[in-house]
Amino acid sequence: MEKSKIRRRLKLIFPSYIWSIMKNIALDYVINNVQENHEKALSKIREKDRIKIAFFVLYFSVWKLDKVFQLMLMDSQFEPVIVVCPYMEYGKEHMLSDMNRTVDYFESKGYKTIRTYNEQTGEWFDVKKNLQPDIVFFTNPHDITKNEYYIANYKEIPTCYVPYNFGNSHLFEMFHNQYFHNLLWKLFAETEMHKQFSIDYAYNKGVNVCVTGYPGTDIFFDTEYVPKDTWKVHPGLKKIIWAPHHTIDDDKSFLSFSSFLVYADYMLRLVEKYKNSIQLTFKPHPILKSKLYKHPDWGKEKTDKYYNLWNELETGQLEEGSYEDLFLTSDAMIHDSGSFLIEYLYLNKPVLRTDRDDSITKRLNPFGVMAYNEHYHARTEEDIENFIKNVIAGKDEMKEEREKFRQEYLLPPNNQSASRNIFDEIKKNVR
C-alpha cells in the first residue's frame, strides 16, 4: 500500500492529537538516526584523499552554486560532479527538454555531468551504486523528482542545501519545516533572520542551519567579473527587464504573485511605444511556459507564438537562461517574482513591483516585506509607464534608501562571499 494511503488511514483511526504525537515520535527517531549516520559518514570521509560531492540539479536556470562548484574544482581534496535529475511535474516531454538543456549548460562549462535518464534504453542512473557520492548537495527542497533522487533515499549520506530562491514567503512550514529541511546535514541560510525562521518553525529547531549569505548573488560583488552583454545592439537605449512569475493559477492564500495575464499584451505595446528609448527583455520564470500550456485561455500554440514574438521585436527579446549577466548589464527591472524581490536589490538599480492587489505583503515573511518596501509599486498600466518614463529620464528617488538596505541586510558574513563561506564550512567539517 502507498505511504500516503497508509497515513490517511492512520489519521482516520487516531484522534488528531494522538496522530500528532505519533508523527513527532517517528520524526524524532528519524532525525536522530540520520544525525548519527552523518557522523559515521563524516568519520569515514575524513580518512579519504578525495571527496566526491554530487550536486543534484533539476534545471539550470536556478543554479546558485557555481562559485561553490568552482572552489571545489580548484581544491584537490574535492571531486564535484553535476547530477541532472528529472523534473516530473509536467510530463515526459517537458522533463526531457529540461534535462537536455540542463545537461548542455553544464557540459558547455566543462563540468563533469551525469544525465540520470538514458533516452535510448529508458534506464535511470543509480547514483548510490554507480557514483557513490560522499556528500550530496540538493538544489530544490520539494518532492518533484523521482524518489531515487530525493533526500529520503540519502539518509546515510551528509546532505546540504542552499535555497533556490532568496526566502521571502510567509509559508514557513513549506520553506523551513518540510521533512527535507529536518533531515539535512547542513542548510546554508541567507541571513540571521532566515536562520531564526528555522529556529522558530523547523521541527529540529534549526540545529543544522549555518548563515553564509546567498551564493546566487556573489557575482554582484565580484569586481573582476566582466558580464556578457546579452542585449541587442541599440546604443543609448535604456535596458529594462520584465520578469513575470509563474503563479498564474495559484489561490491568493498560497502565493499568487504573477500578474502576467494582466500585463502580457500591454508590455508588448510598451516595447513598440518606447522603441526609441528602451530595450525590454522578457525574462519569464522557467515554469511559466508549462503553466501557460495548460491554461484554458492560452495553450501551447498561443504560448509559443507569444514567446517567439519577443525575439522578433526590434527592441524586445526573450531570455530563458541564466540571469546574472542580464541583471548586471540592465538599467532597471519590472517584476512580480519571488527571489528577484531581493536579488535585484543587490545592484541598487530602479525596480518596480507589479501586483494584482494590495494583499501581497500578507504572503511575504518579514524580510520579504522589508525588501518589498524598497520597490516602486504598480497597480495600473499607468504606474508601469510612469516608471519607464522615470528610468528614461534617469530619475530614481529611492536610490539612497535601497543602498542603506543593501549595506545593512544583504552583505554576506565574514567579509567574504557566500560561496566561500559555504566552501569553508564544508572544508572544516571534512578535515
Neighbouring CB atoms inside 10 A of 392's CB total: 17
pLDDT at 251: 56
Same-domain check for residues 248 and 209: no
The verdict on residue 220 lying in a domain is no
pLDDT at 194: 97
Name the 3-class secondary structure at 260.
Answer: helix
Q: Which residues of the chain have pLDDT under 70?
A: 1-26, 29, 250-256
pLDDT at 10: 44
Which triple of cell numbers denotes residue 156? 546515510
Q: What is the pLDDT of residues 343-373, one digit of tens each?
A: 999 999 999 999 877 778 888 999 999 999 9
Same-domain check for residues 254 and 300: yes
Are 69 and 220 in contact by the 8 Å Cβ rule? The answer is: no
pLDDT at 363: 85
The CATH number covering residue 119 comes to 3.40.50.2000
The verdict on residue 204 lying in a domain is yes
pLDDT at 234: 73
Same-domain check for residues 52 and 184: yes
The amino acid occupying position 245 is H
pTM for this prediction: 0.83
Q: Which residue range is the domain that position 338 belongs to?
A: 238-410
Number of domains in the chain: 2
Convert 135-149 into a string of H (helix), E (strand) and C (coil).
EEEECCCCCCCCHHH
The CATH number covering residue 387 comes to 3.40.50.12580
pLDDT at 15: 46
Same-domain check for residues 193 and 274: no
The verdict on residue 6 lying in a domain is no
The verdict on residue 154 lying in a domain is yes
Name the 3-class secondary structure at 233.
Answer: coil
What backbone torsions phi and psi does residue 159 show, to the nearest 5 degrees?
-120, 145
- Closest CA relative to residue 212, chosen from 368, 430, 425, 427: 425
pLDDT at 14: 44
Same-domain check for residues 404 and 421: no
Same-domain check for residues 163 and 274: no
Same-domain check for residues 156 and 267: no
The verdict on residue 219 lying in a domain is no
Same-domain check for residues 57 and 137: yes
The verdict on residue 229 lying in a domain is no
Same-domain check for residues 360 and 424: no
How far does CA 77 lie from the centroid of its chain? Answer: 28
